[in-house]
């Protein structure tokens, strides 16, 4: 049971946890009951920066979700202009992450990183349609072994102020590998290759590195879903 209760914490969270504990000590010196504020903040940071292992489906062609959260939109859209791609729309799956979701991002499929681009922007609510275009973001273009291109984008949200991406140009990556993190509420977009339909629906909850978002080898049409 311990491995399910004591979830590892991403190293990006340790400065926040340490700062919260230090704040608790300061509060205790000012007025002992205030120590609980610091401890609650430390507990929240520990929860927010949790980094659980995931069981990644590894069959060739599978595209897994790069983030935990809810699918907020599925629609054709042009990939971020800073990547220098064509303006032909691709099917985009947008995943909204609340402050209660795991914020560690994962690579959606096997391939090679062929372009990275950072874009400064606004900090609108990540659930808004315009967030993909206007918000601060880190865009990544990868090429699969069969030459198809997939784009995934880390997008800052209303209270997010730091996007962490550890990928480098030319890096070979595997499906489900951790590649970064967005601090606090945010959004992650995935642009699928032409002709590939998503296997998820709007409103569906995603588990980063586990939920199959699409199958590059399948000719299945886009799915529909309903609440039951």
Please tell me which residue in 65, 86, 186, 218 is annotated as part of the active site: 186
Q: Cα(81)–Cα(74) distance, rounded to whole angstroms?
A: 19
| CA–CA dist 2, 55 (Å, integer) | 18
- Distance CA(198)–CA(200), nearest Å, equals 6
186 is annotated as an active-site residue: yes
Q: Which residues are catalytic?
A: 186
């Amino acid at each position: 049971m311990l491995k399910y209760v004591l979830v590892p914490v991403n190293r990006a969270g340790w400065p926040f946890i340490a700062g919260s504990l230090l704040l608790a000590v300061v509060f205790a010196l000012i007025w002992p009951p205030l120590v609980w504020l610091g401890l609650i903040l430390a507990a929240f940071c520990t929860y927010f920066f949790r980094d659980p292992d995931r069981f990644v489906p590894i069959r060739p062609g599978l595209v897994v979700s790069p983030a935990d959260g809810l699918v907020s939109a599925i629609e054709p859209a042009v990939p971020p202009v800073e990547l220098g791609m064509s303006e032909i729309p691709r099917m985009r799956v947008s995943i909204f992450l609340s402050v209660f979701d795991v914020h560690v991002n994962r690579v959606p499929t096997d391939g090679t990183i062929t372009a990275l681009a950072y874009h400064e922007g606004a900090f609108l609510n990540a659930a808004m349609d315009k967030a993909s275009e206007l918000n601060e973001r880190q865009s990544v273009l990868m090429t699969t072994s069969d030459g198809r291109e997939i784009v995934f984008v880390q997008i800052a949200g209303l209270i997010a102020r730091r996007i962490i991406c550890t990928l480098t140009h030319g890096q070979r990556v595997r499906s489900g590998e951790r590649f970064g993190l967005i601090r606090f509420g945010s959004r992650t977009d995935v642009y699928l290759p032409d002709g590939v339909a998503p296997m998820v629906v709007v409103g569906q909850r995603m588990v980063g590195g586990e939920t199959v978002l699409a199958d590059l080898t399948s000719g299945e049409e886009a799915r529909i879903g309903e609440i039951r």
